[in-house]
Amino acid sequence: MTAQTVTTFQAFKATLKRDLLIAYKRKNDMVNPFMFFLIVASLFPIGISPDPDRLAEIASGVLWISALLASLLAMDNLFRSDYEDGSLEQLLLSPHPLYFLVLAKNISHWLVSGLPVALVSPLVAYMLNLPGESYFTLFITLLIGTPVLSLLGSIGVALTVGLGSRGLILAVITLPMSVPVLIAGTLTVQQTLNGASLAGYLAILAAMLFAAVSFAPLASAAALRISVK
Protein backbone atom coordinates (compact mmCIF):
# COMPACT_ATOMS: atom_id res chain seq x y z
CA MET A 1 0.00 0.00 0.00
CA THR A 2 2.77 2.39 0.97
CA ALA A 3 4.87 1.50 -2.06
CA GLN A 4 1.91 2.08 -4.37
CA THR A 5 1.22 5.49 -2.74
CA VAL A 6 4.85 6.53 -3.10
CA THR A 7 4.94 5.37 -6.72
CA THR A 8 1.80 7.33 -7.54
CA PHE A 9 3.21 10.41 -5.85
CA GLN A 10 6.39 10.08 -7.88
CA ALA A 11 4.33 9.81 -11.07
CA PHE A 12 2.42 12.92 -10.01
CA LYS A 13 5.67 14.86 -9.47
CA ALA A 14 7.15 13.61 -12.73
CA THR A 15 4.08 14.69 -14.71
CA LEU A 16 4.09 18.10 -13.05
CA LYS A 17 7.81 18.60 -13.66
CA ARG A 18 7.54 17.48 -17.29
CA ASP A 19 4.72 19.89 -18.07
CA LEU A 20 6.51 22.79 -16.39
CA LEU A 21 9.67 22.07 -18.39
CA ILE A 22 7.68 21.94 -21.64
CA ALA A 23 5.99 25.24 -20.78
CA TYR A 24 9.38 26.79 -19.99
CA LYS A 25 10.73 25.73 -23.38
CA ARG A 26 7.64 27.07 -25.15
CA LYS A 27 7.82 30.58 -23.78
CA ASN A 28 5.05 31.81 -26.06
CA ASP A 29 2.61 29.54 -24.23
CA MET A 30 3.61 31.26 -20.99
CA VAL A 31 3.67 34.84 -22.24
CA ASN A 32 0.57 34.87 -24.46
CA PRO A 33 -2.11 34.45 -21.72
CA PHE A 34 -0.35 36.98 -19.49
CA MET A 35 -0.09 39.56 -22.27
CA PHE A 36 -3.66 38.86 -23.36
CA PHE A 37 -4.85 39.60 -19.82
CA LEU A 38 -3.00 42.93 -19.81
CA ILE A 39 -4.24 43.91 -23.27
CA VAL A 40 -7.90 43.10 -22.59
CA ALA A 41 -7.87 44.93 -19.25
CA SER A 42 -6.16 47.92 -20.89
CA LEU A 43 -8.72 48.15 -23.71
CA PHE A 44 -11.75 48.47 -21.45
CA PRO A 45 -11.00 52.09 -20.46
CA ILE A 46 -10.67 52.98 -24.16
CA GLY A 47 -13.90 51.23 -25.15
CA ILE A 48 -16.07 52.28 -22.20
CA SER A 49 -14.85 55.42 -20.47
CA PRO A 50 -11.60 56.85 -19.10
CA ASP A 51 -13.49 58.48 -16.24
CA PRO A 52 -11.81 57.37 -12.96
CA ASP A 53 -15.09 56.96 -11.06
CA ARG A 54 -16.62 54.90 -13.86
CA LEU A 55 -13.52 52.72 -14.06
CA ALA A 56 -13.58 52.12 -10.30
CA GLU A 57 -17.14 50.77 -10.61
CA ILE A 58 -16.35 48.26 -13.32
CA ALA A 59 -12.72 47.41 -12.46
CA SER A 60 -13.42 44.18 -10.57
CA GLY A 61 -15.63 42.83 -13.37
CA VAL A 62 -13.12 43.88 -16.01
CA LEU A 63 -10.29 42.08 -14.24
CA TRP A 64 -12.28 38.89 -13.74
CA ILE A 65 -13.50 38.85 -17.35
CA SER A 66 -9.91 39.41 -18.52
CA ALA A 67 -8.70 36.54 -16.31
CA LEU A 68 -11.42 34.26 -17.67
CA LEU A 69 -10.56 35.04 -21.29
CA ALA A 70 -6.82 34.62 -20.62
CA SER A 71 -7.50 31.24 -19.03
CA LEU A 72 -9.60 30.22 -22.02
CA LEU A 73 -6.82 31.27 -24.40
CA ALA A 74 -4.29 29.10 -22.57
CA MET A 75 -6.65 26.17 -22.15
CA ASP A 76 -6.16 24.68 -25.61
CA ASN A 77 -2.53 23.87 -24.76
CA LEU A 78 -3.44 21.64 -21.83
CA PHE A 79 -3.59 18.27 -23.64
CA ARG A 80 -2.80 19.30 -27.21
CA SER A 81 0.92 18.51 -27.34
CA ASP A 82 0.40 15.24 -25.46
CA TYR A 83 -2.27 14.20 -27.95
CA GLU A 84 -0.13 15.12 -30.95
CA ASP A 85 3.03 13.28 -29.82
CA GLY A 86 1.19 10.22 -28.50
CA SER A 87 2.16 10.66 -24.85
CA LEU A 88 -1.50 11.15 -23.90
CA GLU A 89 -2.18 7.52 -24.84
CA GLN A 90 0.70 6.46 -22.62
CA LEU A 91 -0.81 8.53 -19.83
CA LEU A 92 -4.09 6.67 -20.22
CA LEU A 93 -2.28 3.32 -20.16
CA SER A 94 -0.39 4.20 -16.99
CA PRO A 95 -1.03 1.93 -13.97
CA HIS A 96 -1.34 5.00 -11.75
CA PRO A 97 -4.72 6.64 -11.10
CA LEU A 98 -5.46 8.98 -13.97
CA TYR A 99 -7.01 11.44 -11.50
CA PHE A 100 -3.60 12.36 -10.06
CA LEU A 101 -1.90 12.64 -13.43
CA VAL A 102 -4.63 14.94 -14.78
CA LEU A 103 -4.50 16.96 -11.56
CA ALA A 104 -0.74 17.39 -12.01
CA LYS A 105 -1.31 18.73 -15.52
CA ASN A 106 -3.99 21.10 -14.21
CA ILE A 107 -1.64 22.43 -11.54
CA SER A 108 1.09 22.97 -14.12
CA HIS A 109 -1.36 24.80 -16.37
CA TRP A 110 -2.43 27.08 -13.51
CA LEU A 111 1.14 27.82 -12.44
CA VAL A 112 1.94 28.92 -15.99
CA SER A 113 -1.25 30.81 -16.92
CA GLY A 114 -3.28 31.56 -13.77
CA LEU A 115 -0.74 32.44 -11.10
CA PRO A 116 0.97 35.23 -13.13
CA VAL A 117 -2.45 36.82 -13.71
CA ALA A 118 -3.21 36.78 -9.98
CA LEU A 119 0.21 38.23 -9.15
CA VAL A 120 -0.07 41.14 -11.57
CA SER A 121 -3.74 41.90 -10.82
CA PRO A 122 -3.10 44.60 -8.16
CA LEU A 123 -1.00 46.54 -10.66
CA VAL A 124 -3.73 46.40 -13.31
CA ALA A 125 -6.30 47.26 -10.62
CA TYR A 126 -4.33 50.40 -9.85
CA MET A 127 -4.40 51.29 -13.55
CA LEU A 128 -8.20 50.87 -13.52
CA ASN A 129 -8.53 53.08 -10.42
CA LEU A 130 -9.86 50.30 -8.18
CA PRO A 131 -9.75 51.53 -4.54
CA GLY A 132 -6.65 50.38 -2.70
CA GLU A 133 -8.54 48.50 0.02
CA SER A 134 -9.76 46.03 -2.61
CA TYR A 135 -6.34 45.00 -3.94
CA PHE A 136 -5.75 42.21 -1.44
CA THR A 137 -9.29 40.87 -1.84
CA LEU A 138 -8.90 40.88 -5.61
CA PHE A 139 -5.62 38.99 -5.33
CA ILE A 140 -7.10 36.38 -2.97
CA THR A 141 -10.20 35.83 -5.11
CA LEU A 142 -8.09 35.35 -8.24
CA LEU A 143 -5.73 33.08 -6.32
CA ILE A 144 -8.71 30.89 -5.38
CA GLY A 145 -10.77 31.33 -8.54
CA THR A 146 -8.24 30.91 -11.34
CA PRO A 147 -7.47 27.27 -10.39
CA VAL A 148 -11.20 26.60 -10.63
CA LEU A 149 -11.22 28.06 -14.14
CA SER A 150 -8.31 25.80 -15.13
CA LEU A 151 -9.93 22.71 -13.64
CA LEU A 152 -13.31 23.35 -15.25
CA GLY A 153 -11.69 24.22 -18.57
CA SER A 154 -9.77 20.95 -18.59
CA ILE A 155 -13.09 19.10 -18.88
CA GLY A 156 -13.89 20.94 -22.10
CA VAL A 157 -10.38 20.38 -23.43
CA ALA A 158 -10.57 16.68 -22.66
CA LEU A 159 -13.89 16.39 -24.49
CA THR A 160 -12.58 18.14 -27.60
CA VAL A 161 -8.95 17.01 -27.65
CA GLY A 162 -9.48 14.80 -30.69
CA LEU A 163 -11.17 17.48 -32.78
CA GLY A 164 -9.23 19.41 -35.41
CA SER A 165 -10.95 22.78 -34.88
CA ARG A 166 -12.17 23.11 -31.31
CA GLY A 167 -11.91 26.77 -30.36
CA LEU A 168 -15.60 27.67 -30.52
CA ILE A 169 -16.76 24.32 -29.11
CA LEU A 170 -14.33 24.68 -26.21
CA ALA A 171 -15.67 28.15 -25.44
CA VAL A 172 -19.28 26.94 -25.57
CA ILE A 173 -18.51 24.13 -23.11
CA THR A 174 -16.27 26.09 -20.74
CA LEU A 175 -17.88 29.52 -20.43
CA PRO A 176 -21.22 28.41 -18.86
CA MET A 177 -19.35 26.43 -16.18
CA SER A 178 -17.12 29.43 -15.43
CA VAL A 179 -19.90 31.99 -14.94
CA PRO A 180 -20.56 31.15 -11.24
CA VAL A 181 -16.86 31.63 -10.46
CA LEU A 182 -16.88 34.94 -12.31
CA ILE A 183 -19.94 36.15 -10.39
CA ALA A 184 -18.62 35.04 -6.99
CA GLY A 185 -15.21 36.64 -7.56
CA THR A 186 -16.66 39.94 -8.73
CA LEU A 187 -19.19 40.14 -5.90
CA THR A 188 -16.48 39.45 -3.31
CA VAL A 189 -14.44 42.42 -4.50
CA GLN A 190 -17.55 44.60 -4.61
CA GLN A 191 -18.39 43.68 -1.01
CA THR A 192 -14.99 45.00 0.06
CA LEU A 193 -15.94 48.39 -1.39
CA ASN A 194 -19.28 48.25 0.48
CA GLY A 195 -17.58 47.40 3.78
CA ALA A 196 -19.51 44.12 4.17
CA SER A 197 -18.19 40.85 5.57
CA LEU A 198 -16.33 38.70 3.05
CA ALA A 199 -16.48 35.42 4.95
CA GLY A 200 -19.51 34.05 3.11
CA TYR A 201 -18.25 34.97 -0.37
CA LEU A 202 -14.77 33.60 0.28
CA ALA A 203 -16.34 30.41 1.65
CA ILE A 204 -18.31 30.03 -1.58
CA LEU A 205 -15.15 30.43 -3.66
CA ALA A 206 -13.30 27.96 -1.43
CA ALA A 207 -16.16 25.48 -1.79
CA MET A 208 -16.00 25.86 -5.58
CA LEU A 209 -12.26 25.17 -5.47
CA PHE A 210 -12.74 22.10 -3.27
CA ALA A 211 -15.47 20.75 -5.53
CA ALA A 212 -13.41 21.42 -8.66
CA VAL A 213 -10.32 19.68 -7.24
CA SER A 214 -12.47 16.72 -6.17
CA PHE A 215 -14.52 16.17 -9.31
CA ALA A 216 -13.03 18.02 -12.31
CA PRO A 217 -9.98 15.73 -12.75
CA LEU A 218 -12.30 12.72 -12.57
CA ALA A 219 -14.54 14.21 -15.27
CA SER A 220 -11.50 15.13 -17.37
CA ALA A 221 -10.08 11.63 -17.02
CA ALA A 222 -13.39 10.09 -18.14
CA ALA A 223 -13.61 12.51 -21.06
CA LEU A 224 -10.06 11.67 -22.14
CA ARG A 225 -10.85 7.96 -22.17
CA ILE A 226 -13.85 8.70 -24.40
CA SER A 227 -12.02 11.12 -26.73
CA VAL A 228 -8.79 9.15 -27.18
CA LYS A 229 -9.54 5.85 -28.85
Alpha carbon distance 3, 213 (integer Å): 24
- pLDDT tens track for 133-147: 889 999 999 999 999
pLDDT(199) > 50: yes
Q: What is the pLDDT of residues 20-67, one digit of tens each?
A: 888 788 777 778 888 888 888 888 878 777 777 888 888 888 899 989
88-126 pLDDT tens trace: 888 888 888 899 999 999 999 899 888 989 999 999 898
Separate counts of helices (H) and strands (E) for the chain: 10, 0
Half-sphere exposure of residue 68: CA atoms within 13 angstroms, side-chain side: 21
Cβ-contact 152, 97 below 8 angstroms: no
The H-or-E segment that residue 212 falls in is: helix 199-227
Q: How far is CA 68 from the centre of its chain?
A: 7
CA proximity to 183, closest of 75, 73, 54, 60:
60
Q: How many CB atoms lie within 10 A of CB 34?
A: 18
Q: In this structure, which amino acid lies at residue 144?
A: I
Is residue 222 classed exposed, middle or buried when 0-12, 13-18 and 19+ CB atoms within 10 A define those classes? middle
State the first-to-last Cα distance of the chain, in angstroms, to the nearest integer.
31
Dist. CA 138–CA 155, nearest whole Å:
26
This prediction has a pTM of 0.87
